[in-house]
Amino acid sequence: MSMVDEPLYPIAVLIDELKNDDIQLRLNSIRRLSIIARALGEERTRKELIPFLSESNDDDDEVLLAMAEELGVFIPYVGGIDHANVLLPPLETLSAVEETCVREKAVDSLCRIGSQMKEKDLVDHFIPLAKRLSAGEWFTARVSACGIFHIAYASAPDLVKTELRSIYSQLCQDDMPMVRRAAATNLGKFATTIESAHLKTDIMSMFEDLTQDDQDSVRLLAVESCAALGKLLEPQDCVAHILPVIVNFSQELSSDSSQHVRSALASVIMGMAPVLGKDATIEHLLPIFLSLLKDEFPDVRLNIISKLDQVNQVHSIRDAAANNLKRLAEEFGPEWAMQHIVPQVLEMINNPHYLYRMTVLRAVSLLAPVMGSEITCSKLLPAVITASKDRQVVEKMIRPCLVELSEDPDVDVRFFANQALQSIDNVMMSS
Amino acid sequence: MNSGDDAASSAANSGPPPSLEWRFSQVFGERTAGEEVQEVDIISAIEFDKSGDHLATGDRGGRVVLFERTDTKDHGGSRRDLEEMDYTVRHPEFRYKTEFQSHEPEFDYLKSLEIEEKINKIRWCQPANGALFLLSTNDKTIKYWKVQEKKIKKISEMNIDRSKSPGINSPPSSNSPNRIVTNGVHADYLSNDFPFPAGGIPSLRLPVVTSQETSLVARCRRVYAHAHDYHINSISNSSDGETFISADDLRVNLWNLEISNQSFNIVDVKPTNMEDLTEVITSAEFHPIHCNMLAYSSSKGSIRLIDMRQSALCDSHTKLFEEPEAPGTRSFFTEIIASISDIKFSNNGRYILSRDYMTLKLWDINMDSGPVASYQVHEHLRPRLCDLYENDSIFDKFECCLSGDGLRVATGSYSNLFRVFGTSQGSTEAATLEASKNPMRRQIQTPARPARSMSSMTRGVRRGPESPGAEANGNAYDFTTKLLHMAWHPTENSIACAAANSLYMYYA
């Protein structure tokens, strides 16, 4: 045991505490890894510290998470880009642990480092890493592999590119649903690195495999990637390849497919509208939208299955559809909306099922600001007032809707909205 | 034997397979003569993992004990040793692996109720990275356990020998308040822009870790609590590898393994007025292949098959499986004995096996008009239902299981007996075995009426050879020795069953 100089005591303690029994102390040391690295110097960091970290791979998750995070910004401490590849082994280990948050952070860091690496190093080190992970014995490694392909692909020589596409395609058909889910989630990202010639063939066939998977959660995630894929294809290819999948999908929607698939579909289709342009949107997307408005089931249940954080605003398919109608109206203008959306929406106000009528009111409240006061007063509000006779609908939808409209900037809208509110109260009082 | 074929199709061609001859294999935790059984040691759950390489048992004391298979290549000797063995005699053999305390008794202060630590169910999950994972549950709380070999670390070559450091009165333990040092004058060294020399400081050392031994460590990774008002009777993993359900008397909840503070209620049979309650949930299981389908059984003898895609709150079932009551058979006990205590899907997902008090029933999920086969477990008890009601035995919950290939089903009975029936068309296989070292002692080789075709619309009812109410030497049934828990190995004809605190294993 060597005694260090007293002034260096704190650093020495910091280093020793990397292996302290107290997790808080270990965490503290890991979070200050950069200081330890500078105290050791670049060469010793590369030769001693990094291997040391590689071996600490069975520590508590919190510690591993902190480690994965630190390593992602460690390039300066190992001597710059030229030495970035020494950071890969510990991250490779961390990207295969079973705690998801650690894995995801490790993949994040791998991508961060990979995107800075020189081409030669990518070919020599990063790509073999990606191949090893995708051939991992445990599903955990294969899940992580899906997240780094988009980095590995770009700088690969052509032969290797073919190999990588083939490996990804196998990941899309992996035995484990977790791996297939990861493949589906990352398909969009991967596709952005692929040449257009291969997009239409390899990627689209992976996409189709995934949209026909028998696991709900996999199909859902594949549909998510529609919008991303749509942006990469020419509009006519979009119409030719992606739309049929969506249309088929939406035809299944009537009874067989899960409702959160449909909900995601609603949002995704919106992403496609700008790409397709007005005509194709009217011809293909609108019918789907309107059928989603009539969707039977009020709840999108299980975001947990697919962990759809990005869709957390959406609570129902009809809500999604209503929101998307509003966005369409914004995109293409009130005149267009008046011609193509409003009539169909208003038609539904007379639907015997009260949930349909509720949806209409929701859509109306969203469209009103977009359509402008004239249309709102002349077309939308009367429908609202008619529906106000419906007890069930009144409290849940109409009143909030009208309260919103009673605060509209336009004086006429406010007037009519308040009128409506009063008449509701009268009806309520007298019955 | 382990063809894995669909039972009906394999039997259709060549007649039913020959009856299995069961032999005793191993026993764990056997009592010595005269030894009292400790209540806490009584086994309350048994489960093989998907590969059949591991077996878990849970007991009333909240302990989980794991066993691992020893007769496979992974565990056995060298290749030559294995080749020398007589392969025809090989059957699954297990040894003790490890154990841990899963649940502790708790007290619910709000309701003034004690929550038992008894393990109700264990279900294995997907292994990963060389570690084993399983779910265990008591009445109220489910826990996700990871069991892993961990290196025992010895640290040497630290920078600081704490006992020699001047001015530090800290004991050489991890709780030493040595952080104080860094708040003092030397804090500069820990700032991000302190100018360390270019080559670093040579005298600093990284701790050297030596690790020789490993030990098995069980760690609780998630606790899924406070989601059940009533007693949890089932847990079941989805084929998606990410979610599972837990069921109590009135509700079924859906969980994501990663998320312990949130669950979704997918079945709720609680009536608005509890006085209207007539039926409770007794068991629930996910379909082995379709991640959106699950089945649950009720105290009225019905099974419901739910498709989660159809609605958020799955109160509208997709299929209801019920056996119409045979006219003229109704008695005071009819309803009680109709209560299903356990259901299991066959591995191919095509059949559901259910156990009610007197029978095992096999259902084809494509046919909801009635079971395709019915096996009488202990028909001689029927005249004694009154006694069984008096001593509460009529409420005993027996588990059931299917062989991996679907060709046979098994369930337990009293006097530590268990019964095995063949499901193939025309099979007359019906064995009675005792959980002891001589399982065949009571087997009687009298022929029985063959079972009717499983594909016919009429139900086949089989009695098979069974021990009479009084066996040869006139002993009455012992209702205190009940074989409630058993499991069939996923790929071999090997059965694990519990008689009080002893685990018996049989092979055929």
pLDDT tens for each residue of A415-427: 878 887 887 777 6
Question: How many CA atoms, within 13 angstroms, populate the side-chain half-sphere of residue A321?
Answer: 29
Question: B27: which 2 tokens?
Answer: 């026993």
Does residue A203 contact residue A166 with C-beta atoms inside 8 Å? no
CA distance B174 to chain A (A): 6
List, as ranges, residues 291-330 from B with C-beta within 8 Å of A. 291-292, 308-313
- Which residue in the block uniquely carries the two structure tokens 């639907």? A351
The burial of B458, by beta-carbon neighbours within 10 Å (0-12 exposed, 13-18 middle, 19 or more buried), is given as: exposed
Please tell me whether residue A165 adopts helix, strand or coil conformation. Answer: helix
Does residue B205 contact residue B159 with C-beta atoms inside 8 Å? yes
Provide the pairing of β-strand B293-298 with B281-286: antiparallel
Distances (CA, A) of A115 to A90, A109, A118, A154, A155: 17, 10, 8, 10, 10
Res B89 pLDDT > 80: no
List the single residue in A1, A35, A43 with the smallest CB-CB distance to B190. Answer: A35
Residues of A in contact with B154 (CB under 8 A): none
CA of A20: which chain B residue's CA is closest?
Answer: B174
Which secondary-structure segment (H or E) carries A413? helix A411-430
Q: Is the minimum CB–CB distance between B177 and chain A shorter than 8 Å?
A: no
Please state which of the ranges A23-27, A298-302, A403-407, B436-440 shows the lowest mean pLDDT: A298-302
Alpha-carbon distance of A4 to A348, in angstroms, equals 81
Give the DSSP letter of residue B253: E
Note the pLDDT tens digit of each residue in A149-198: 999 998 899 999 999 999 999 999 999 999 999 999 999 899 999 988 88
Spell out the residues 6+ positions from residue B319 whose beta carbon is closer than 8 angstroms to its own: B304, B305, B365, B368
CA distance from start to end of chain B: 9
List the single residue in B159, B187, B242 with the smallest CB-CB distance to A178. Answer: B242
Q: Given an 8 Å threshold on Cβ–Cβ distance, is B192 in contact with A217?
A: no
**Residue-level length of chain B:** 508
Does residue B418 contact residue B495 with C-beta atoms inside 8 Å? yes
CA distance B50 to chain A (A): 14
Look at residues B164, B303, B169 and name the one whose alpha carbon lies nearest to residue B247.
B303
- Which residue in the block uniquely carries the two structure tokens 């205190």? B480
Looking at per-residue pLDDT, the higher value among A184 and A331 belongs to A184
CA of B222: which chain A residue's CA is closest?
Answer: A99
pTM of the model: 0.76
What value, to the nearest 5°, has the Cα angle with vertex A192 and ends A186 and A194?
105
Q: Given an 8 Å threshold on Cβ–Cβ distance, is A4 in contact with B174?
A: no
Torsion, Cα A233 A234 A235 A237, to 10 degrees, reads -70
The burial of B199, by beta-carbon neighbours within 10 Å (0-12 exposed, 13-18 middle, 19 or more buried), is given as: exposed
Per-residue confidence at B419, pLDDT binned at 50, 70, 90?
very high
Does residue B355 contact residue B340 with C-beta atoms inside 8 Å? yes
pLDDT, position A69? 95
In this prediction, what percent of chain B has a pLDDT beyond 90?
A: 57
Q: Given an 8 Å threshold on Cβ–Cβ distance, is A11 in contact with B239?
A: no
Alpha-carbon distance of A328 to A286, in angstroms, equals 9
| Stretch A282-299: mean pLDDT | 58
Question: How many H-runs (helices) and E-runs (strands) does chain A carry?
Answer: 32, 0
List the single residue in A3, A14, A256 with the smallest CB-CB distance to B190. Answer: A14
Which secondary-structure segment (H or E) carries B291? none
| Stretch A86-99: mean pLDDT | 94
Alpha-carbon distance of A48 to A397, in angstroms, equals 65
Q: Given an 8 Å threshold on Cβ–Cβ distance, is A4 in contact with B160?
A: yes
Q: Is the minimum CB–CB distance between A58 and chain B shorter than 8 Å?
A: yes
List the single residue in A7, A12, A301 with the smallest CB-CB distance to B312. Answer: A301
List the single residue in B157, B206, B311 with the smallest CB-CB distance to A49. Answer: B206
List, as ranges, residues 29-48 from A with C-beta within 8 Å of B. 32, 34-35, 38-45, 48
- Which residue in the block uniquely carries the two structure tokens 């019905």? B302
Sign of CA dihedral B70, B289, B256, B319: negative
Residue A91 backbone dihedrals phi, psi, to 5 degrees: -70, -35
Per-residue confidence at B196, pLDDT binned at 50, 70, 90?
confident
